[in-house]
Structure 1
Amino acid sequence: MYFQWYPGHMTKAKRMMQENIKLVDLVIELVDARIPVSSRNPEIDKLGKNKARLILLNKSDLAEDKWNDSWAEYFKKRDYSVVKVNSKKGGGIKSIQGVIQEACREKTERDRKRGILNRPVRAMVVGIPNVGKSTFINALAGKACTKTGNKPGVTKGKQWIRLNKNVELLDTPGILWPKFEDQTVGLRLAFIGSIKEEILNVEELSMELIGFLKEFYPGILKGKYQIEEMEDNFLCLKEIAKSRHCLIKGSELDTEKAARLLLDDFRNGRLGKITLEFPYNYE
């Protein structure tokens, strides 16, 4: 499979970020805890070079705990502040205000020396599509102040949100990079739902996921679908279709329906906690 997706509004989003980066003290970057490197946009490092940085490992409830801890260490070693969060259920949200203040302490002290008191920290929230930015902002603000959706590209324009007298957030549309140098990155993004499904072959995608699960999480498919984990990934998919009664015209197996079901089960944590990439590959 070849992955490519960079609609026009993303070019606009990047330009908006470039224009607004000078207004902020801190860049808060949401990544998906299941793929913390593949769900980062390399452009964001360039744009936020001289700013305080906070990485939020979002959807950490869907990834394996031991790998969440390893990833947190990985980023801390590289001078990022890190918090593990689960925006939907509110996990980790309470600690963020304190972490924001700590990440911007130098800036606050510089302000104090210059006689500038009580100026709120201004933070830009960035991340690729569908990584949960709007849900995070709503959870942090305690009210629905941005549109949310589980489709890539719901946030269309920029908006400032005042959290309290200490923090103001700038929400930005999600941006993917123009070209995936490494197609494995595209594959992982497709697994978690950050690439529009209309341009994907879901059966091929699900067979790739089956291959990964058999290698790194053996037994998980057998436990969930009561199937044998055969060598041939398409045969595995057919077994899932059989087990879940995905049929067309009476008795013909509907492998596309089974593929969607598998991807949906993975994305919503019904297969258990699964991490798709590991820090030891990036040391």
Structure 2
Amino acid sequence: MPVVPVGIAGTGELLPKHGRLRRAGVTVRIGAPVAADPDAARAEVMRLAGATDVPTPQAVRRQPELPTRCTPSRSHTTSTTHTPTTTDVPTPQVVCERGMQRRVAALAVSGAGLTLVAAWSLAEAIVWPLVPELVLFALLLAAPRAGVRLVPAAVLASMAGGLCTLALARAGVAPGAPLVTERMRAEVVQQTLAEGPQAVRHQPLSGIPFKVYAAEAGRAGVAPLPFLVEAVTHRGVRIASVGTACALLGVALRPWPHHHARVVTTGGALFAVGLTLVVATWT
């Protein structure tokens, strides 16, 4: 079969020997297919990588092939080389799924990913109906290490959104709240009248959106600071716990990156079912 040569240049500046990882431009050049000859392929890779002293295929000394497995015997040693089979080549679907996982991981570690999580969490505490744990689930499965940035961003933005909703309610402004039922509001009214800012401790397990507690706290005249303390203690801890669990699941799935899309789809479907059941319960 023809060989497609790929030359990569710039990795020496990206991570020098005995050095530290740093920002550097890396160039990847994909060449045209060449004959299945090791010398010709090696020379073409060197040329694509930008080497100045690229030898011709005829001048390249054939290097002995390294055995992939050696079986010693009493009198001599024999070596066997691995011959690629059709099972070694990933299917187009697996390649597509791995590419999707890489793109999501790149988003998670970028500034755009941080902005997405912060904006999602802020909006959910005001009008958006989907919890920030959902976007954390999708991103942290692909890039677990990004949880160091994304989880605190989700907690802080959610708390900021809760304070905004509380302030709006104090001013008599009531933003729209999709998927919030009258029974939810009635329950939160009773809890707030009985417990004040501590009423928000019921939020993580009740299924009632955080913004409902924030709005009712504002209408009841609850001070922002006590409400914030209780919200961080209960709502913030839940976001951090779920985010940490998502990151750990992402670490466990690292050997199988092509399963990322399947796991995210399954998790999204389970969330949709759970959300439907919560709304039905409070209707």
TM-score range for the pair, normalised by the shorter chain length: under 0.3
Larger radius of gyration: 2
Structure (1 or 2) with the greater strand fraction: 1
Larger proportion of helix:
2
TM-score by length of 1: 0.23
